[in-house]
Chain A
Amino acid sequence: MEKWHAAKPGSIVNGSAAPKQKPAPARAKSAAPPAPPQYTTVFGEALVEEARRDERVVGITAAMNSGTGLNLLQKALPERYYDVGIAEQHAVLFAAGLALEGAKPVVAIYSTFLQRGYDQIVHDVCLQKLNVVFAMDRAGLVGDDGPTHHGAFDISYLRCLPHMVQMAPRDEAALVNMLHTALVYDDGPVALRYPRGEAEGVELPLRPEPIEIGRGELLQEGETVAFLGYGYGVSVALGAAESLSDAHGLDATVADARFAKPLDTELVERLAADHDVLVTVEENVLAGGFGSGVLEHLADSDLLRDTRVLRFGLPDRYVTHGQPSLLREEVGLTPEAVAAQVAQAVLEPSLA
């Protein structure tokens, strides 16, 4: 069991478990808005709903029952839940076997731990083009657990694999729609990445809607600068755009790529053609990541002559442990830091 695997501060008092806080009443008297749900919980609940709708759906965890939200599936539909132990390689192969016979396995493994099943992803799921869904919680900087646990590489290590579809939600509503999209897609594997911690606090769809594979979304139209975010990068991009508007009166375009693969090349080309600077934002190493994919496409299409591309993401080093907000400051992945660099590039191009 995961009891005390990772205790929260204040959960142990005088050497024993602290008394449980009474849950907040459903209708609090104060007008404070409820905290946004955790991505993990949204995923777990959405998976239960998908499993209820489609009896082929099963969930697989490698000994991360509540960490992945699969405890909700275990509780609601125990016969659809598998914990194979700390055995990521087997989890992926087991899913491959299930998929071969028509089941729809969702392999819920943190981005960092999916690295441990890489050969199985390459040789067994992608090469054989099997319908396996990878749900990667903890994608990006995880915080206190540090460099061994940051999900810093999955965009890069999966983007190079033929047949793989990669998507990332910008908020919890998108996560619900994307999980549904991944499960109705039947032409190979899908990898879904989402960050650790609180979601954005948006309303969830009553019934999930599938998204067109490889189609991004334009969120706001502006000029000169276009932000193209992926996953958590979208909220950074939106914040940076707001900051640019406030500080410099520059109204930037912001788009959500939604897919790192296949890339919405039409959207990328349009953004590049209509703006001086195209800014990509992701929480993954820059090497081989989402921004790299955008650059590759623009270079291959000879569209880099008139467009400057700025990429924001994680640096080519291992990031230490600590609060995510502090780590994001350290690596320059905050709306303010991104806005400052973009402003410099646009307003004082010679200095950038």
Chain B
Amino acid sequence: MKNTTAEIAAYERMKPGAITAQGFLGDDERALADIIEADLEAWRRAGVDPDDAATFLERLESLGQKGLGEPTVVDGRWTVTVGDARGRLPCPFHDGAFHKNSIEAVDGTNGARVVYSDLSIHLLRRHRFCQGLGSPFRLDPEVVASMMR
């Protein structure tokens, strides 16, 4: 699929060293539009609406926040650790800046694990971008869906 001009500019900012040290693409060599399209298909296959996934991750974050950096068990199922640095990180699409934080959530029932930040939730909700394969912050639709089931 062809990338729009905004996507091409965002793609440049997603490379290592532009906004974050490792970038947002991992070792994925596909075009941005192809990554997004394939993940949309994966959400459909998993039967999960990406907006619901974003809301789910936000809820884990706000309940995990109570631990002030300590691992906190949410609803007896997910172990959530919210760490944050001060400062803000811009979105590669240039439409906002988000707290620098990192949230690790591990599902006690199946061991599924994701790491994300406020920017990751924005990227998912607003741009449907789950990050490239191999990015440490990738929100893999199948993994997230398995944590929501």
A binds B: no
Residues of A within 8 A of B (CB): none
